[in-house]
Structure 1
Amino acid sequence: MKAALVQLNVSDDPVANLPVTVQLVRDAAAQGAQFILTPEVTNCVSTSREHQKSVLQLEADDITLAALRQVASDTGVWLLIGSLGLKTEDADGRFANRSFLIAPDGSIAARYDKIHMFDVQINETETYRESAGYRPGTQAVMAQTPFANIGLSICYDMRFPLLYQSLASAGAQILTAPAAFSPVTGAAHWHALLRARAIETGCFVLAPAQTGTHASTNHKTRDTYGHSLVVDPWGEVILDAETDTGVYIFDLNMEKGVAARQKVPSLANRRRFSDP
Structure 2
Amino acid sequence: MKIDLSGKTALVTGSTEGIGFAIAKGLDEAGASVVINGRTEPKVAAAVAKLGPKARGRAIDLATPEGLAALVAAEPAFDIVVNNLGIFQPVDFFAADDAVWDRHWQVNVMSGVRIARAYLPGMAAKGWGRMLFLGSESGYNIPVEMIHYGVSKTADVSLARGLAKRMAGTGVTVNSILPGPTLSEGVAEMLKDEVAKGKTLEQAGIDFVKAHRPSSIIGRPATVEEVANMAVYIASPLASATTGAALRVDGGVVEFIV
Q: Whose helix proportion is higher, 1 or 2?
A: 2
TM-score, normalization: structure 2?
0.38
Q: Whose strand proportion is higher, 1 or 2?
A: 1
TM-score, normalization: structure 1?
0.36
